[in-house]
Amino acid sequence: MDSLLLFRFVLPCTLLLLLPSSSEAYDPLDPNGNITIRWDILSWTGDGYVAAVTLNNFQQYRHIQEPGWSLGWTWAKNEIIWQMIGGQTTEQGDCSKFKGQVSPHCCKKDPVAVDLIPGAPYSEQVANCCKGGVLTSLKQDPANAVASFRVVVGRAGTTTKSVRLPKNFTFKSPGPGYTCGPARIVKPTRFLRYDKRRVTQAMMSWNVTCTYSQFLAAKAPTCCVSLSTFYNDTIVSCPTCACGCQSGNCVDPNSPNLTSVISNPGNNGITCTSHSCPIRVHWHVKQNYKQYWRVKVTITNFNYRMNYSDWNLVIEHPNFDNLTQLYSFNYGSLIPYGGSMNDTAMLWGIKFFNDLLMQAGPLGYVQSDLLFGKDKSTFTFHEGWAFPRRIYFNGDNCVMPPPDVYPRLPNAGSQQKASPYLL
Say whether residue 342 binds ligand NAG (CB under 6 A): yes
- Closest residue to ligand NAG using C-beta atoms: 373
Q: Which is nearer to ligand NAG, 45 or 184 (CB)?
A: 184
Out of 43, 78, 240, 291, point to the residue binding ligand NAG (CB under 6 A). Answer: 291
Out of 8, 27, 29, 38, point to the residue binding ligand NAG (CB under 6 A). Answer: 38
Out of 69, 73, 320, 329, point to the residue binding ligand NAG (CB under 6 A). Answer: 320
Print the SS3 string covering the chain: CHHHHHHHHHHHHHHHHHCCCCCCCCCCCCCCCCEEEEEEEEEEECCEEEEEEEEEECCCCCCECCCCCEEEEECCCCCEEEEEECEEECCCCCCCCCCCCCCCCECCCCCEEEECCCCCCHHHCCCCCCCCCCECCCCCCHHHCEEEEEEEEECCCCCCCCCCCCEEEEEECCCCCEEECCCEEECCCEEECCCCCCEEECCEEEEEEEEECHHHHCCCCCEEEEEEECCCCCCECCCCCECECCCCCCECCCCCCHHHHHCCCCCCCEECCCCCCCEEEEEEEEEECCCEEEEEEEEEECECCCCEECCEEEEECHHHHHEEEECCCEEEEECHHHHCCCCEEEEECCCCCCCEECCCCCCCEEEEEEEEECCCCCCCCHHHCCCCCEEEECCEECECCCHHHCCCCCCCCCCHHHCHHHC
Taking CB under 6 A as the binding criterion, the range among 41-49, 89-97, 387-395, 403-411 that sits at the site for ligand NAG is: 403-411
By CB under 6 A, the residues from 91 to 150 that bind ligand NAG are none
Least gap, CB of 223 to ligand NAG (angstroms): 18
Q: Which is nearer to ligand NAG, 123 or 218 (CB)?
A: 218
Taking CB under 6 A as the binding criterion, the range among 92-100, 129-137, 299-307, 386-394 that sits at the site for ligand NAG is: 299-307
Q: Which is nearer to ligand NAG, 100 or 265 (CB)?
A: 265
* Site string (237-276) toward ligand NAG, x via CB under 6 A: --------------------x-xx----------------
Q: Which is nearer to ligand NAG, 91 or 375 (CB)?
A: 375
Out of 67, 373, 397, 421, point to the residue binding ligand NAG (CB under 6 A). Answer: 373
Give the binding site for ligand NAG (CB under 6 A): 32, 34, 36, 38, 54, 56, 58, 74, 167-168, 186, 207, 209, 232, 234, 257, 259-260, 291-292, 305-307, 320-323, 333, 335, 342, 358-359, 373-375, 405-408, 410
